[in-house]
Amino acid sequence: MTANPVPATRRPKLFTLVSITGAGALSMNIFLPSLPGMARDFGVDYALMQLSVSAFLAVSACVQLLCGPISDSFGRRPVILVSFAVFLLATVGTLLAPTAGWFLFFRMIQAIVTSGFVLSRAVVRDMVPAERAASMIGYVTMGMSLVPMIAPTIGGILDENFGWRASFVTMGVLASVVFVLCWFDLRETSRGGGVPLRQQIATYPLLARSQRFWGYALAATLSAGAFYAYLGGAPFVGQTILHLRPAEVGYWFAAPSIGYAMGNFISARYSTRFGMNRMILTGAIICTLPLGVALVIDMLDGQTPLIFFGSVAFMGLGNGMLLPNANAGMMSVRPELAGTASGLGGAMAVAGGAGLAALAGAFLHEDTGAAPLLVIMVIVSAGSILSALWVMARERRLLAQG
């Protein structure tokens, strides 16, 4: 089933879609180099302050699960505008928080901004047919990847010069700009008023019974899970295991984003030619193998910043190839429920990532090296290979049946 394209006069600019997703990426990782220092500032353990990553992801999973059906029912534009307004209020709360508990409370509310991850993809699916969606999502996320490429670097510099709160001020200022941009440029793309929310819930079993949906969703969940585990553990590995300063950790954090941008470019350029499934499988393999090499080197006491962050750069490359195609595949199962499928798949990915990020934070100690984090990343990345093969096997059976 191919969706009717949205008229050109109602299509938002590509820059607007990139900004929506970029704001969510910025809120997720600009402050990561500051995490150890934030723990000291509030007088709490790193594991508690790391909840600003893992618990944020857990809440954003719920947000993404709900925002898809709600946007299918009420429209993309109002959901995006409300999300950014709430995010701005929560950002003020993080800046004024007197304790770690209050900070974490407002940090959880900030997770509403991740609705942009789901809805930007749904807008793309509204605008173009399924066969072009993977390519366009690749362009959107390629542009978005520039934000996490530079955000930790900026966050590390801000931390060293002005303290960790400067990163949250930056979040608020940029989110305000995106809100204004959406107000003027983002017109409604969901056609015909969408599907009523009650009907959305009733159609979840249709997605749940689809092997294709589960294969695509699991491939995205496991591949993205490796990255979320990295977000939870890399600040500790960088500063405590590899003895890097916050600004240096920020510089090295650009590695996976550079890889992700390259992967998105490859996805945008070649997905139509080679097909979604081949791109997903290739991306999964590229994610897994370098992480396995880095784990072996770590077990031999040869870990260096170049090896650790270099392997994660390849993980970013693989994710950049896999995720746009897996997301397009999820939404092609039931095109009229693009928002629901995107939200359900996004919720799975982020919920899994929240657990993996917390797991990484719990197992990392000064005497463990980077091995616990790398073990988690290798296992879940390997799982994405199996998921890709599962989808391909299902499609071969469908072709054999005629």
Could you give the CA distance from residue 331 to residue 341 in angstroms, rounded to a whole number?
6
Please report the pLDDT score of residue 2 as a whole number. 41
When the pLDDT of each residue in the chain is averaged and rounded to a whole number, the result is 83
Ordered by start, the domain boundaries in the chain are: 12-186+195-400
Please report the pLDDT score of residue 106 as a whole number. 97
Please report the pLDDT score of residue 198 as a whole number. 66
Model confidence over 327-343: pLDDT tens digits? 888 877 766 666 667 66
pLDDT at 129 over 60: yes
What single DSSP character describes residue 13? P
- 10 versus 385: the higher-pLDDT residue is 385
Please report the pLDDT score of residue 92 as a whole number. 96
The CATH number given to 12-186+195-400 is: 1.20.1250.20
Could you give the CA distance from residue 3 to residue 124 in angstroms, rounded to a whole number?
11
Residues near 289 by Cβ (< 8 Å), separated by ≥ 6? 314
Write the DSSP assignment of 192-213 as a string of letters.
Answer: GG---HHHHHHTHHHHHT-HHH
Please report the pLDDT score of residue 180 as a whole number. 94
Please report the pLDDT score of residue 3 as a whole number. 47
- The closest of 60, 37, 55 to 357, measured between CA atoms, is 55
- The closest of 126, 177, 124 to 147, measured between CA atoms, is 177
Per-residue pLDDT averaged across 126-130, rounded?
66
What tokens does 313 get? 């750069």
Contact 46, 101 (CB under 8 A): no
Return the amino acid letter for 272: T
Please report the pLDDT score of residue 133 as a whole number. 64
Please report the pLDDT score of residue 8 as a whole number. 52
Model confidence over 31-85: pLDDT tens digits? 988 888 898 899 988 778 888 988 888 888 788 777 877 887 778 888 999 999 9
CA dihedral 357, 360, 366, 367 (to 10 degrees): -170
Burial category of 199 from C-beta neighbours within 10 Å (exposed 0-12, middle 13-18, buried 19 and up):
middle
396 band by pLDDT with thresholds 50, 70 and 90:
confident
pLDDT at 141 over 90: no
- The closest of 337, 352, 163 to 246, measured between CA atoms, is 163
Q: How far is CA 39 from the centre of its chain?
A: 24
